[in-house]
Amino acid sequence: MPFLTRLFVKTALVYFIAALVVGVLVMARPILNLPPIVAGLSPVYFHLLMVGWVTQLIMGVAHWMFPKFSREEPRGRDWLTWTIYGLLNAGLLLRVIAEPARTVSDASLWGWLLALSALLQWLAGMGFVAHLWPRVKGH
């Protein structure tokens, strides 16, 4: 299994655990009288689960299993895969910070950071498509 695939999969596993912890916190908030910022973790839970766990796992396995790009670069350009990994995770971690902060603060900074988070994740998605498109070629 290539290093980048292992990195994607291990990172996905970390996000899976984080999503479960956040999900428990969100559900336990009314019972344990947790601070209001925990209410802002509900969208974070879904992003950790769907982007951090599911999407990242799919990207890692696809990087490994899809047809070869070429003999010289069987899995395509590593720099692009590293860029995808960085953009996806930077966007997700930015969301993890900005989303709950936005629930307890009216500062416009948090809205801008959420927009930047979405942009980074979108760029990662577009990079992923650009990376795999040539590997799904007809003969």
Q: How far apart are CA 86 and CA 88, in angstroms?
A: 6
pLDDT at 20: 97
Host domain of residue 95: 3-135
Secondary structure of residue 34 in the 3-state scheme = coil
The number of helix segments (H) and strand segments (E) in the chain equals: 5, 0
Look up the pTM and report it: 0.90
What gap in Å lies between CA 51 and CA 28, rounded to an integer?
A: 23
Q: Is the pLDDT of residue 4 over 80?
A: yes
Residue 115 has what pLDDT? 97
Q: What is the pLDDT of residues 62-117, one digit of tens each?
A: 999 887 877 887 788 899 999 999 999 999 999 999 999 998 888 999 999 999 99
What gap in Å lies between CA 66 and CA 89, rounded to an integer? 22
Count of domains forming the chain: 1
